[in-house]
Amino acid sequence: MKIRAAVVREINQLTIEDVELDAPKPYELLVRLHAAGVCHSDLHTYRGELRAAPPLVLGHEGAGVVEKVGAAVTKFKPGDRILVNWLPSCLHCEACLRGQSNLCERFPSTTLVGLLPDGTTRLHTLDGMPLKHYLSSATMAEYAVIDEAGAIAIPDDVSFEVGALIGCAVVTGAGAVINTAHAEAGSSAAVIGCGGVGLSAIMGAKLAGCNPIIAVDVMESKLAFALQMGATHTINAREVDAIETLRTLTRGGPDYVFDSVGAAGTINQALKAVRPGGTATIIGMHAIKTDVPIAVGPLVAQNKRLLGSFFGSSRPHVDLPRLVELYRSRRLPLDDLITKRYALDELPLAFADMEAGHVARGVITL
């Protein structure tokens, strides 16, 4: 079938064009997408800064309605409302069996390079070029074919826009606080970088009962969003020494520091800022292709912990439904995270607004 999609044929070349989408195979779903989140990962991929390389269709945060199911699908039927889980794990490899399905052994050769779980693609341009599905999803399009394991049911009272964000930004940020760091109630927390993932970490820290919750960024607009999401204090790192200010606000450093940027500078900033014996957790992947030198002194001599958190250390089929229920019980104010909506053709503007700090999270409505 012919669909409209956000296509990257080559690095730094983005077009919105018609492409061909093949029918789903036995274990796959055809989904009519209604919303797609605009994430920095999509922008990094468009620029060639992550592992998945063009040609591909962008998008990994998404939600919509199942239109068709493959012959072997048992969990879904046409008409079901779903959010896209871009980590469709196998559930039988060693990683999955030990409860770390976010590290499923098939991801490096499939999802992370832009293929469906069977190692193939259903997308191609009208002139015959095969297109990859970014993170097994390709949600910046009118329709997507995804593996059955890549769908999570959502109830009627959860909007497609909220569902899309739960599928990546929210679970990545909140999961880092709850699943990776195991932040304790009454502890102090700081979040470096207040984009969609950082704001989700702030919501996760509030959910965990942290206080104070300190937001660090270089844009006042993002710090304002952080206050709306639950931060108790803000630090503009362009104006003051963020590490010293964090130490002053928390009597020696926060118990937990979460770096949603993942750049060389912010990784060491997080490690230096956290109190002796505290935990610094790196969420962002800005420096994923870079060897980052680490300050060993504070890590060893002060008994600090430095953790990595991929997809919030989550078990998607357990944690994504839980986040849906936390939203439904009004414990996660996810509607406030969505600050602007765009048409698919406005994707370049959505990327520009994200970089400029004009939005907490932008969403493409389809």
pLDDT in tens, 104-152: 999 999 999 999 999 999 999 999 999 999 999 999 999 999 999 999 9
CA distance 136 to 336: 28
pTM over 0.85: yes
Report pLDDT digits (tens) over 32-65: 999 999 999 999 999 988 878 999 999 999 999 9
- Output the pLDDT for position 295: 83
Q: Provide mean pLDDT across the span 157-171.
A: 98
What are the residue ranges of CATH 3.90.180.10 in the chain? 2-167+313-365
- Output the pLDDT for position 286: 78
Report pLDDT digits (tens) over 274-298: 999 999 999 998 767 788 888 888 8
* DSSP three-state, residue 112: helix
What are the residue ranges of CATH 3.40.50.720 in the chain? 182-308
pLDDT at 329 over 90: yes
Which strand ranges, in their side-by-side order, compose the sheet holding 233-236? 233-236, 213-217, 189-192, 256-259, 279-282, 305-308
124: burial class by Cβ within 10 Å (0-12, 13-18, 19+)? middle
Report pLDDT digits (tens) over 299-328: 999 999 999 999 999 999 999 999 999 999
pLDDT at 350 over 80: yes
Report pLDDT digits (tens) over 61-106: 999 999 999 999 999 999 999 999 999 999 999 999 999 999 999 9
Q: Kindly give the pairing relationship between strand 62-69 and strand 81-84.
A: antiparallel
Q: Return the CATH number of the domain spanning residue range 2-167+313-365.
A: 3.90.180.10
- DSSP string of 160-198? HHHHHHIIIIIHHHHHIIIIIS-PPTT--EEEE--SHHH
pLDDT at 238 over 90: yes
* Phi, psi for 81 (deg, rounded to 5): -90, 130
Four-way CATH pick for 182-308: 3.40.50.1820, 3.40.50.720, 3.40.50.150, 2.40.30.40: 3.40.50.720
